[in-house]
Amino acid sequence: MVKIPLVGQLIEEGARLINLLNKEGLTVSSAFWLFDEEDDNWALVIALPFVDEQGPLPAYQKLGTLMGRNGSWVLDLSFVSVWGPSEWRFKKLLDRARSAGQNSPGSVQGSLPPVVLEDSYIYRA
């Protein structure tokens, strides 16, 4: 199966969304694009402490409102997954994103600039 490439415009819009969330006071713990083999598409995974506190539905509502009042987007909300950073499922996804670039271990540590791996693009881990 041929992977759909992650295009620069989606990467830029992911960064734009992360910046908007931070400006709104919704701290982003981690954020990365991860290729979902089941759906054969890319998903933007965002970990927000807000999700641990309020749940995913209010987080999606805030994302929709935020995107709606900040111009047009190529990024569709259906490609965004929000998780609480303490959720075990999120931790497994983060491990998967980190291990996607097995040829470059340690390339996602600290607050380095975004790094492209084989199956992921990590803004912040």
pLDDT at 32: 86
Mean pLDDT by 10 residues, the chain (125 residues): 70 92 91 80 90 94 94 90 86 71 37 48 69
Q: 98 vs 23, 34, 49, 64, 92, CA distance in Å?
A: 26, 10, 20, 28, 10
CA separation for the pair 40, 108 (Å, rounded): 24
Q: 4 vs 20, 59, 118, CA distance in Å?
A: 27, 28, 12
pLDDT at 109: 35
CA separation for the pair 125, 109 (Å, rounded): 7
The two tokens of residue 67 are 């995107």
pLDDT at 102: 44
pLDDT at 61: 95
3-state secondary structure of 40: coil
CA separation for the pair 86, 52 (Å, rounded): 7
